[in-house]
C-alpha cells in the first residue's frame, strides 16, 4: 500500500473484507496523526482521488557504486581540486632560444607540488586505466566465460597495466633532475 495513511483506511474499509476491516480499524485506532487530521482539515475537505506513488528507494548495486567511485577517484588523483583553487595553465610553454618558436612543456619543471592541468588529467586517467587493467585480469581468470573473452580481457588487462606505469617512468626521468 503506497498511499498515505490517512487515505488508505477509507479505501481499505470500503473495498476489502472483514479481516481487512479489523486490520484497518486496528490501524485507525493506533495512529494519533490520523485522528487529528481526520478532524481538522479533512472533516470538511475532500481529498481528490489521485494515483500517487511514493518514490521507492532501492539501493544501487555494488558495481554501480564502484563505477561512481572510480570517477571520483579519477578527479581526486588528477589534482582536480588543485586545478580549481590554484588555476594553473592548461599546458606550459617555453621559447626555443635558437629558432624563437614556442614549444609546449608538458610537465611543470622545478617542483613536486604543482602541475599543469593536462598533465594532471592524463596521468589520472592512466592510473584509473591501470586499475581497470587489473580488474580485467581478475575477470579473465574467472572460469565461467568463453575462452576468447578471457584472452581478450587478459590482453587488455596487461596492456592497461603497462600503460599505467608510463607516468611513473616518465616522472622518474625528470624528478631525478630535480634533486641533482
Partner 1 sequence: MATVTNTPVSDLLKSFKLKTKQQELLIRVSILCLVYILAFIIRLFSVLRYESMIHEFDPYFNYRTTLYLTQNGFYDFWNWFDYESWYPLGRIIGGTLYPGLMVTAVLIYRILHFLRFAVHIREVCVLTAPFFASNTTLVAYFFGKEIWDTGAGLVAAILIAICPGYISRSVAGSYDNEGVAIFALLFTFYLFVKAVNTGSLAWSLASAFGYFYMVSAWGGYVFIINLIPLYVLVLLITGRYSMRLYIAYNCMYVLGMLLAMQIRFVGFQHVQSGEHMAAMGVFFLMQVFYFLDWVKHMLSDTKLFQAFLRITVTCAVAVGTIALGLGMLSGYISPWTGRFYSLLDPTYAKDHIPIIASVSEHQPTAWSSFMFDYHILLFLFPAGLYFCFKRLSDATIFIVMYGLTSMYFAGVMVRLILVATPAVCLISAIAVSATVKNLTVLLRSKNKGVLTGSTKGSSSSKASSKALLDQSQPFQKNGAIALLFGAFYLLSKYATHCTWVTSEAYSSPSIVLAARGAHGNRVIFDDYREAYFWLRQNTPADAKVMSWWDYGYQITAMGNRTVIVDNNTWNNTHIATVGRAMSSYEDEAIEIMRSLDVDYVLVVFGGVTGYSSDDINKFLWMVRIGGGVFPVIKEPDYLVNGEYRVDKGAAPKMLNCLMYKLCYYRFGEMLTEYGKPPGYDRARGVEIGNKDIKLEHLEEAFTTSNWIVRIYKVKPPNNRW
Question: Site residues (CB under 8 A) for partner 1?
Answer: 5, 23, 26-27, 30-31, 33, 59, 62-63, 65-66, 69-70, 72-73, 76-82, 84-86, 107-108, 112-115, 119-120, 123-124, 126-135, 137-138, 141, 143, 147, 154, 158, 161, 164-165, 167-168, 171-172, 175, 179-180
Minimal distance, residue 99 CB to partner 1, in Å = 25
Minimal distance, residue 158 CB to partner 1, in Å = 7
Given the complex with partner 1, which of 43 and 58 has the nearer CB atom?
Answer: 58
Minimal distance, residue 79 CB to partner 1, in Å = 4
Given the complex with partner 1, which of 44 and 179 has the nearer CB atom?
Answer: 179
Given the complex with partner 1, which of 46 and 111 has the nearer CB atom?
Answer: 111
What is the Cα–Cα distance from 4 to 13, expressed in whole angstroms? 15
Minimal distance, residue 70 CB to partner 1, in Å = 6
Given the complex with partner 1, which of 44 and 169 has the nearer CB atom?
Answer: 169
Given the complex with partner 1, which of 42 and 132 has the nearer CB atom?
Answer: 132
What is the Cα–Cα distance from 132 to 138, expressed in whole angstroms? 10
Q: Which three cell numbers stand for residue 146?
A: 568463453
Minimal distance, residue 114 CB to partner 1, in Å = 5
Q: Which three cell numbers stand for residue 138?
A: 581478475
Amino acid at each position: 500500500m503506497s498511499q498515505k495513511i490517512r487515505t488508505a483506511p477509507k479505501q481499505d474499509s470500503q473495498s476489502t473484507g472483514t479481516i481487512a476491516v479489523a486490520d484497518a480499524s486496528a490501524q485507525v485506532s493506533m495512529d494519533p496523526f490520523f485522528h487529528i487530521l481526520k478532524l481538522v482539515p479533512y472533516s470538511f475537505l475532500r481529498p481528490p482521488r489521485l494515483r500517487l506513488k511514493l518514490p521507492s528507494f532501492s539501493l544501487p548495486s555494488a558495481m554501480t557504486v564502484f563505477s561512481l567511485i572510480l570517477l571520483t577517484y579519477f578527479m581526486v588523483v588528477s589534482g582536480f581540486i588543485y586545478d580549481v583553487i590554484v588555476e594553473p595553465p592548461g599546458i606550459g610553454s617555453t621559447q626555443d632560444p635558437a629558432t624563437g618558436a614556442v614549444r609546449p612543456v608538458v610537465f611543470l619543471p622545478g617542483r613536486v607540488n604543482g602541475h599543469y592541468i593536462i598533465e594532471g588529467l592524463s596521468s589520472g586517467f592512466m592510473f584509473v586505466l591501470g586499475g581497470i587493467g587489473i580488474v580485467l585480469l581478475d575477470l579473465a581468470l574467472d572460469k565461467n566465460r568463453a575462452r576468447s573473452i578471457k584472452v581478450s580481457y587478459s590482453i587488455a588487462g596487461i596492456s592497461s597495466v603497462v600503460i599505467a606505469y608510463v607516468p611513473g617512468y616518465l616522472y622518474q626521468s625528470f624528478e631525478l633532475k630535480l634533486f641533482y
